[in-house]
Structure 1
Amino acid sequence: MPIILVVIIRSTIAFFALLVLIRIIGKQQVSQLTFFDYTVGITIGSMASTLSIQLNENLTSTLAGMVTWTVLAILVAIIGIHSARLEKIVVGEPEIVIQNGKIVEENLKKNRITISELLSELRVQGVFNIEDVEFALIEPDGKISVQKKSQKQPVTPSDLNLPTQYDGLPTVLIIDGVVQESALRSINLTKAWLYHQLEKQNIKDTEIFLAQLDTKGNLYVDLKEDNRYFIIDTTN
Structure 2
Amino acid sequence: MPDWLNILLRSIGALAYLFLLTKIIGKRQIKQLTFIEYIVGITIGSIAAFMATEMDGPVFHSLISMGVFAIFPVLMEWVSLKSKVMRDLFEGKSTVLIKEGKIMEDNLKRERLTAEDLMEQLRIKNVFRVADVEFALMETNGELSVLLKSENQPLTAQQLELTVPPAEEGQVVIMDGVIMDEPLATAGYNRRWVRTQLQKAGVALENVFLAQVDKGGELYLDLYDDKIQVPAPQATKLTFATLKKCQADLELFALGTKNETAKQTYQRDAEQLQTIIDQVKPFLIR
Query: In structure 2, what residue type is equivalent to 1:79?
Result: V
| SS at 2:112 equivalent | coil
Mapped contact 2:187–2:215 kept (Cα < 8 A): no
Mapped contact 2:31–2:141 kept (Cα < 8 A): no
Query: Bigger CA drift: 223-232 or 91-100?
Result: 223-232
Query: In structure 2, what residue type is equivalent to 1:95?
Result: T
Q: CA deviation at 1:107?
A: 1.6
Computing the radius of gyration from Cα coordinates, the structure with the larger value is 2
Structure 2 Cα separation of the partners of residues 134 and 63 of structure 1: 51
Change in CA separation of 1:142 and 1:229 when aligned onto 2, cut-off 3 Å: farther
Query: Bigger CA drift: 146-155 or 157-166?
Result: 157-166
Quote the residue 2:245 is aligned against: none
Structure 1 Cα separation of the partners of residues 168 and 104 of structure 2: 40
Quote the residue 1:219 is aligned against: 219
Quote the residue 1:95 is aligned against: 95
Structure 2 Cα separation of the partners of residues 111 and 214 of structure 1: 47
Alignment RMSD: 2.4
Quote the residue 1:79 is aligned against: 79
Structure 2 Cα separation of the partners of residues 135 and 151 of structure 1: 14
Alignment TM-score, normalising by the size of structure 1 = 0.88
Change in CA separation of 1:23 and 1:211 when aligned onto 2, cut-off 3 Å: farther
Quote the residue 1:107 is aligned against: 107
Structure 1: which 5+ runs fail to align?
none
Change in CA separation of 1:152 and 1:206 when aligned onto 2, cut-off 3 Å: same
Quote the residue 1:136 is aligned against: 136
Within 5 A, what are the aligned runs for 1:171-186?
171-186=171-186
Q: CA deviation at 1:4?
A: 0.6
Quote the residue 2:3 is aligned against: 3
Structure 2 Cα separation of the partners of residues 233 and 14 of structure 1: 57
Greater helix percent: which structure?
2
Percent identity reads 36
Quote the residue 2:166 is aligned against: 166
Query: In structure 2, what residue type is equivalent to 1:157?
Result: A
Mapped contact 1:101–1:135 kept (Cα < 8 A): yes
Structure 2 Cα separation of the partners of residues 213 and 117 of structure 1: 44
Structure 1 Cα separation of the partners of residues 43 and 113 of structure 2: 26
Q: Paired residues, what number?
A: 236
